[in-house]
Structure 1
């Protein structure tokens, strides 16, 4: 939008606001409508005077957008303004569909690259690979462009062509692709894990999530699955109705899954299962963690409230707020919080109260003393106010500082990029292992690379040193601290031996991703994920499984 149009829009708004102020001037001074009109008039007047008198030229659209975003940030993190140019990205988030080439773009080592081509879509079918450096899209040099702008260049109507120039190793390749409608699957992988146990990875709640889960379950049962793990770890949520549809796969028709309660009557809704379930008896484990949010929590919480599944993992994020999208003028929209949702037991699992702020302006976590008890169908005690708590609590997995350093410095990524240039294929994901020979070659490759790091113990000693200096005790313990430093000083060479297994795991995931993409990474992790191992143990004994769904006497 150019400056002339922006000013015209502002002055039109001023006229409307002026009429509104005249109309509302007869209301009492404490009337909310009067206060609203008054403050809108002040805001519009301010923009007008800035545009007229400020020493430098201003962009009214940019200033107003900053003001809108700052205002909405005072409410909660989920209420946001979506300008016209952001509508496409919002549509992709909610529908999982867009026109493009089907590739995730990112920046590694200062270079714009293909980070993951989606299997079966134009980028992968045309031969583009992970770590291909993007040089040009059509006539646009993209070496110094940001990844968001590159993604926009690659997107476009289905059946249109786009030419991409990439660098792979020492070679420069030109690839012509035909864009198509990209539909991102909610279930990127499902398969048999062990014996008669099937596994479904649910990563999103865009359109058809319920159908995707139903089809996966149907196929797994045909393969002989008699127990199911539904994995919603790291799933941030999405469409509320799709959460209902996923629950409906396992819960009989006509059961309440969630209800929403807000300030207006029109947001008061009750969502029930509308179809016959695919299987209401098959033993079920749902895996959650601290990044399972919103629709994921509706699914996990409803299945827990009906005692239909055993939850394994860590307490979920705690998002019990519902957002609605409301159209605004000039093709913009606002996504705002309109209600709280309540799962079948009657609990709301919202963990943060944004109506109350701490001294830094952040929402406050619901105090334990204010959390209320609720009952599941079988009479088990569950609580509101802090996410969904699993029936089987697992500790968070942590990685050694050396592993973290090798991954975050992109050394694992760079080594595997060289490996992939020399190897056309590898065995299937669950069969592939990083051999001792390959690991040794990685260690040798690291010899001239920088990957220093501070261990947790070293960091603790550093903190102790700072505090002792601040509190005047340093002179008394200086010698002891120096001796302690020497005794715990890490050896990178030794750490490469001590933490070999988890470094191998990181190498395996990266290597598998180059040949089998996202599906392969998930499949490869099935045999090395301790949390999946814990889920399998729940199924090991039918009586133990049943005991998790029975009230403690």
Structure 2
């Protein structure tokens, strides 16, 4: 009798909850139908009665974007007009000429043509100024506007009027657009004897196969004692590619990630499907605070399974999954459908977009809600804020003068002059910035009106403003003036004081002009302190094992390099 009553109570509760759920769904359906009807009629009334002509398409896009702003930032509408940008974002490909561009003054210039793509094959080079596109002046146009003009159907013509750096004459260049495929792996090679390196810039289709191919090639070229996979700056991409990349290093049937959302379709487990290629090679995954989404799945799974060491900075913290849903007239919407959970059971989403009071309040997960989890070997890891690396290495920060010389294009323009005088340079490994070349750069800068504001000067300006506001300036104004002059004199020494990092920037920029993106990455790696730390770890088995066993203790004396 008691069993029967328990079953009866359970059935009543089930029917009650089901009735509530059906009622809530019916209410939502009514609200949806009502608001769709209001919106459609509003648009019709505006079109019929507004005092001026309206553009329904633009109004509709504005309305949709305003609506989606109430949700998370990853749920976005993609109109047909942005299809090329969408293809680039999701597939790493678009129809165009294959070049990086940048606004400088009234015109947009070529900053880096991609090797073996139309711009480079047509002879365009960094520093070329785009005067017109298909007969239309490019003066005053933004980078986005010029980019849209350069893109088009593969096989179509693009006629550019180009003004070469250092030349007053213009020339007409006809280029056939091609399908531009941004490589998932811009560079792979060796960074030390037996230490392989793969730079993975995105998780687009075939990225896992490309990693497999690169890894196999490295293993063929020389015996491997360790591998670095660089995910710094990699904002993510396709979830299945992330799972397949993990599968290269972990056995079949290992759980990599689970997704959980509102619908049954969004609740999925993703396990490795194949036998691993190498389950024992020492592995380092490099990350920074721009490593997100699929990058965090790879780093998090490798960490949770204790399969490798994560080096770098705490990652971005994007633990959300999006699906792309087609809409009428070739438009699309990318919708956040689930959160993802890596093998230890943690979700690394840093910002809560869903559980706040009011419309779309945004908040980082408070410390009180951060939970501890365990890796396979029992190391403690945490949720709620990205992947914390096993070995913290801060990203390199350049000095103010170095950063400003680069951002204000002094290095770029100096290298333009260099290229005009040199048809070729030595190999990447051999090319160096000589004393005479650095002196030439200093002379180049001295002839310009270059200036920059140090942090000390900014602080002094705030003190000066505060002293005036608080009536202290009369008492300390002279001393502040003396300090200003001392800073001015010291700034004259900065270019020599920070010569090594300025030289490095010049060297990488020059190498990029002759060896393109692969040369750029290889040159930058040679002076990358984070790479040096990764190499040191892979070459020290005891230290590597101590990280995975949970006994590694970082020395506080140096937060930039491993000791």
Report the TM-score when normalising by structure 1. Answer: 0.89
Gaps in structure 1 of 5+ consecutive residues? 1-26
Q: Residues 180 and 331 from structure 1, CA distance in 2 versus in 1: closer, same or farther, beyond 3 angstroms?
A: closer
Deviation at 1:478, TM superposition (A): 4.6
Q: Give the whole-Å Cα distance in 2 for the aligned partners of 1:375 and 1:141.
A: 61
For the Cα contact (< 8 Å) 1:458–1:489, is it kept in 2?
no
RMSD of equivalent CA atoms: 2.4
Residues 36-115 of structure 1 mapped to structure 2, 5 A cutoff:
36-115=32-111
Q: Give the whole-Å Cα distance in 1 for the aligned partners of 2:95 and 2:247.
A: 31
Q: Give the whole-Å Cα distance in 2 for the aligned partners of 1:502 and 1:188.
A: 24
1:218 and 2:216 correspond: yes
Q: Give aligned pairs, total.
A: 527
Q: Deviations over 1:373-410 (max 9, x none)?
A: 11111111100000011111012322221112211111
1:355 match: secondary structure: coil
Q: Residues 103 and 266 from structure 1, CA distance in 2 versus in 1: closer, same or farther, beyond 3 angstroms?
A: same
Q: Give the whole-Å Cα distance in 2 for the aligned partners of 1:531 and 1:309.
A: 16
For the Cα contact (< 8 Å) 1:399–1:502, is it kept in 2?
yes
Q: Residues 479 and 493 from structure 1, CA distance in 2 versus in 1: closer, same or farther, beyond 3 angstroms?
A: closer
1:196 and 2:194 correspond: yes
Deviation at 1:549, TM superposition (A): 0.4
Deviation at 1:262, TM superposition (A): 0.4
Q: Which moved more, 1:303-312 or 1:169-178?
A: 169-178
Q: Give the whole-Å Cα distance in 2 for the aligned partners of 1:167 and 1:488.
A: 40
Q: Residues 113 and 480 from structure 1, CA distance in 2 versus in 1: closer, same or farther, beyond 3 angstroms?
A: closer
For the Cα contact (< 8 Å) 1:109–1:410, is it kept in 2?
no
Query: Paired residue for 2:537?
Result: 538
Deviation at 1:421, TM superposition (A): 1.3
1:127 and 2:112 correspond: no
> Which of the residues 158, 177, 180 maps onto 2:178?
180
1:173 match: secondary structure: strand
Deviation at 1:247, TM superposition (A): 1.1
Deviation at 1:100, TM superposition (A): 3.1
For the Cα contact (< 8 Å) 1:29–1:35, is it kept in 2?
no
Deviation at 1:134, TM superposition (A): 1.8
Q: Residues 70 and 112 from structure 1, CA distance in 2 versus in 1: closer, same or farther, beyond 3 angstroms?
A: same
Deviation at 1:347, TM superposition (A): 0.7
Q: Give the whole-Å Cα distance in 2 for the aligned partners of 1:161 and 1:330.
A: 26
For the Cα contact (< 8 Å) 2:231–2:287, is it kept in 1?
yes
Q: Give the whole-Å Cα distance in 2 for the aligned partners of 1:72 and 1:129.
A: 41
Query: Paired residue for 1:243?
Result: 242
For the Cα contact (< 8 Å) 1:328–1:334, is it kept in 2?
yes
Q: Residues 468 and 368 from structure 1, CA distance in 2 versus in 1: closer, same or farther, beyond 3 angstroms?
A: farther
Deviation at 1:265, TM superposition (A): 0.6
Q: Give the whole-Å Cα distance in 2 for the aligned partners of 1:307 and 1:28.
A: 45
Deviation at 1:534, TM superposition (A): 1.2
Q: Deviations over 1:90-143 (max 9, x none)?
A: 122211233333222332333222222211222222322122222333444434
Q: Give the whole-Å Cα distance in 2 for the aligned partners of 1:491 and 1:63.
A: 56
Gaps in structure 2 of 5+ consecutive residues? 1-22, 553-563
